[in-house]
Structure 1
Amino acid sequence: MSDIETTTVSEEGYACTSQVGDFDMAIDATDETGPNPNAALVATYASCFLPAFRVGGQQRGEDDLGKLQIDASADLDDDDDLEAIRFDIYVEADLSDDELGEIVTRAEDICHVHSALRDGLHADITVHGGAF
């Protein structure tokens, strides 16, 4: 048996509904009834990286990072394939650039989506401490 199993259905057109555990997720290649697959991937990547960042902070002795936010952006090539992803991470805690950099490095090792993406597509990450 696999560790992760999903079922994705498209009744017509380009919209799909994926059953992921007990959750339904709508993805639509035309952006009409849900995000397109590339947008969903970027959001999934950010949703993985944010808790990895928090764990990385805890492993570096920063147990209270406060509120965290990722503003993610991505570029597509002429074939609509993801070409670049950028994360701007906003951290409530006022930490030095070196401290934030150490947390990013640890988060990159922890985030499973980061590990799964092909080389060259990992997010270009900028962190903003004392942001809130």
Structure 2
Amino acid sequence: MSVDEYAEAGRLTTSGWREALDDGVLLGQECRDCGHVTGAPKAACVRCGSRALDTVHLPETGEVYSVTRIEVAPEGFDAPYHVAMVAFDGGRVTARLGDEAEIGETVTFEGAASTPEGPAPLFD
């Protein structure tokens, strides 16, 4: 599917982002004014405040920027699990990890992790 099929009136919404994840597609937004890339839908660019955001496919490989192991999980989640900030050229995305990973390690998008709050990007 093209990115436009997940956007509503040209804007990426949370429901479109989740639908894309369920289809195995990792989407984000890129600011037309400053070039900042974000891994989840926003109303405005977090760097410059512009509302000129384009829906884009995000790279499917990235580098672990930070990682944490969740030992005590919220209700409905099974612990332990790993959460990471995955960095790629131009941006970052918060994601679940299928296995342990170290900062600086290269990881690959594997699809969506099912959580009680909806799908989350899954990297391994």
- TM-score using structure 1 length: 0.23
Greater helix proportion: 1
Indicate the structure (1 or 2) with the bigger Cα radius of gyration. 1
**TM-score, reference length from structure 2:** 0.24
Name the structure where strand makes up a greater proportion of residues.
2
